[in-house]
Every structure is written in C-alpha cells, then in structure tokens.
C-alpha cells in the first residue's frame, strides 16, 4: 500500500464542514473541466426537489423514475447494471458502515479487528477532515474506503456542478489523508438517478447501493435509533434481512452506520455476532466482489476507467458534461423519499479529535 502522507491536514484548506462546497474554487473549476473533457454525456433532465416522492413538485420526476426514464432509486428503487448492489456468492455479506469517521468508529474498529473482519467505510468528507487519524486507522487496518460526499446531501437535488464539488472534495480529502483515492461511492440516502450516475462515471466512481429483495431494501434502519426508534425494531429489521438473504442466489449488501454510539453498539453487540453465528461470510465489498483491496483505489487499480463495474449506462438524453440543468436547492441537504428523517453527519469538537488521535495510534499498533 502507498505510504501515508506526512503533511498535516489543515481544515482551512478545505470547504466549510457540512455545507455544499462553493463552486468558484480553483479545485472545483478544475474538476468541472475534467468532467467536461471526460467524454461522458450528462443527461439534461432537471434536479429533483427536496420534498421527496410525495412532493407535488416532484410529480413529473416520480412518473419518470423507472428504468425507462431517469432510474431514480429513491422513488421506485431503480438500479442500473453499473451499480454494485449484491455480492456474487450466496450467504456472503458485503459489510459497510456509512457517515463516519465518528467518535464511536474506534470502538467498531477494535471489535472488527478482534473478529478479524474487514468492512467498507463510506466516508463523509467533512468527517474525514475532522478526524483524519481515524481514517488513517481504517485504511491501515485493511478496510475499504469509499466516497459518501462532502456534506451528505441528496445528490439528485443538486446542480451538476454541486455534485462535482461534493464528490471531488471528498476524493481529495481521502487522498490527502491516506494517499489513495477511492473509485467507488455511495449516494446519501441512496438518492441517485442517471444524471448523478453519469457524473460519477465521469469522475471515475462506481455507485454502491444496498441490496433490495422481496419488495424491501436491506436497510437495518439503525440510523433511526438516535431519533427514538427502539433497538428491538432495528433487530427485527435485521432478522427480516437475514431471512430474505438466506433465500437469495447471490450475496448481499446491508446499510448500517458508524455515526452514533447506539448504531455501533447494535452492530458489535448483536448484528455482526448473530450473522457470524448463522454462518454468513462477512467481508468488505471489494472482497465480496472477489477483487483484491488494491482494486478499490484509483492509484492501485488495474482498471483506470471503470474500476469496479463493467456495465454501461443506458443511452440517455444528451447534454454537455457538467452543464448545469438542475435547479439550485439553496444548500439544502434534506433526505428524499422514505428517508426524510435521517440525520446528517454531525460536527464534533477539535478536542474530541485530538483525543481520538491518540486512540487511533493505539489501535494501529495492536
């Protein structure tokens, strides 16, 4: 693996945390040019509105959300063959945790290390800049890192340029901290359509979405617990997932989070131990795809153009790459569809980050 960068991370060199990055920076302007020169045509349909599937302003978008239209996952669960949604082998779980690094991620890392397990972590750029030492611990521990945007917005509500900024700054933050750039991403809330997919493709990112089967998706709903959902309800969701997973002829990918202490406690105290006891094989997603970890990063991948997927996007409406056709959403990062209540990543104190720096060093020495 490439050596870790030695330069310190200076937060002032990056956009404001938890806000959609401005578009006038030299970095974003360069990324926009790269997308324009990528040869990928960005579909010209408009952005969605922040009210979700039931918003009258989204009526036309919902009507056009199927595979024959925009393939908007949020309202109908549409995916393309360019999306990673399952693992090839039955009873194989592509394990992943979203929205970190958080103050509770070290507890999860310690447990995974004790069990000799590797996970995929979908990284929020603002969290990476807040806790670079935890991100380095994840990387050096052999876990897979993937892009989860800078401020955790619903991507289909953004302009093309805003999407580029969200993805570009997160790629840069991860590379500055670890020395490698992920070639995969997960859209917050699963909110993706063919416009977002095309921009991801132009930026060398393959989308990863959790599995759907039997009319429901493999979401543990753990992110509802801090808002009052009982742990018993989460465990019931998990039991349903395992029941459906046992009948699949493929493996599966589950949505869970390391943002809150409650979600980490549920994962380490019940969900992961129970899955292991039932004979499921838990792996990070790149491994469940039968690829070495080196294939997860642009710098070390043998495929520089389409790292994790060989599918092609359907022919869509043509449009100049990175030409904005989306309505500005006034910086909103609200969820869409059934996930309107999900909490965005939170900003934590510098003092906590310094404390976790020491913890990260301890874990890296184990």
| pLDDT tens-digit series, residues 52-104 | 999 999 999 999 999 999 999 999 899 999 999 999 999 999 999 999 999 99
- pLDDT value at 144 more than 60: yes
Cβ(182)–Cβ(175) under 8 Å? no
Closest CA to 21 of 331, 349, 324: 331
pTM of the model: 0.84
- b/e code 94-107 from CB counts within 10 Å (16+ = b): bbbbbbbbbbbbbb
Strand partners, 255: 219
pLDDT at 336 over 50: no
Which candidate, 43, 77, 72, 73, places its Cα nearest to that of 60?
72
Is the pLDDT score of 49 beyond 50? Answer: yes
Is the pLDDT score of 315 beyond 80?
A: no
pLDDT at 305: 57
pLDDT at 230: 83
CA 351 to chain centre: 27
Domains, the chain, with CATH or none: 89-314+351-366 (3.20.20.370)
Sign of CA dihedral 131, 133, 137, 139: positive
pLDDT for res 221: 82
- Phi–psi pair at 100, nearest 5 degrees: -90, -170
- pLDDT value of position 202: 99
Q: Which positions are catalytic? A: 98, 257
Whether residue 180 contacts residue 333, with contact meaning beta carbons closer than 8 Å, is answered with no
Give me the chain's average pLDDT, please: 86
Lowest mean pLDDT among 4-18, 98-112, 239-253: 239-253
Q: How many CB atoms lie within 10 A of CB 184?
A: 25
Per-residue pLDDT, 147: 99
């Amino acid at each position: 693996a490439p050596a870790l960068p030695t330069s310190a991370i200076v937060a002032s060199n990056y956009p404001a945390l938890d806000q959609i990055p401005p578009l006038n920076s030299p970095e974003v302007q360069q990324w926009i040019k790269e997308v324009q020169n990528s040869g990928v045509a960005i579909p010209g349909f408009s952005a969605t509105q922040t009210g979700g599937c039931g918003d009258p302003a989204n009526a036309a978008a919902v009507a056009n959300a199927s595979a024959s239209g925009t393939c908007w996952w949020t309202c109908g669960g549409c995916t393309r063959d360019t999306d990673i949604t399952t693992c090839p082998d039955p009873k194989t779980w592509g394990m992943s945790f979203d929205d970190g690094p958080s103050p509770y991620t070290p507890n999860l890392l310690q447990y995974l290390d004790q069990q000799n397990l590797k996970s995929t972590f979908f990284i929020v750029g603002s969290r990476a800049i807040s806790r670079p030492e935890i991100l380095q611990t994840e990387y050096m521990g052999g876990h897979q890192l993937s892009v989860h945007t800078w401020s955790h917005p619903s991507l289909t509500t953004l302009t093309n340029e805003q999407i580029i900024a969200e993805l570009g700054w997160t790629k840069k933050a991860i590379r500055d901290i670890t020395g490698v750039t992920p070639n995969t991403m997960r859209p917050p809330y699963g909110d993706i359509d063919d416009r977002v997919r095309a921009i991801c493709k132009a930026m060398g990112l393959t989308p990863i979405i959790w599995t759907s089967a039997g009319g429901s998706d493999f979401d543990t709903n753990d992110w509802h617990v801090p808002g009052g959902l009982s742990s018993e309800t989460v465990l019931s969701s998990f039991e349903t997932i395992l029941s459906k997973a046992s009948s699949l002829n493929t493996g599966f990918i589950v949505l869970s989070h390391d943002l809150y202490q409650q979600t980490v406690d549920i994962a380490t105290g019940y969900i992961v131990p129970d899955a292991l006891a039932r004979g499921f094989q838990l792996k990070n997603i790149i491994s469940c795809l039968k690829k070495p970890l080196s294939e997860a990063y642009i710098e070390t991948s043998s495929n520089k153009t389409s790292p994790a997927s060989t599918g092609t996007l359907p022919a869509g409406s043509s449009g100049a790459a990175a030409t904005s056709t989306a309505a500005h959403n006034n910086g909103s990062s609200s969820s869409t569809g059934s996930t309107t209540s999900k909490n965005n990543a939170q900003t934590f104190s510098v003092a906590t980050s310094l404390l976790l720096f020491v913890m990260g060093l301890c874990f890296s020495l184990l």
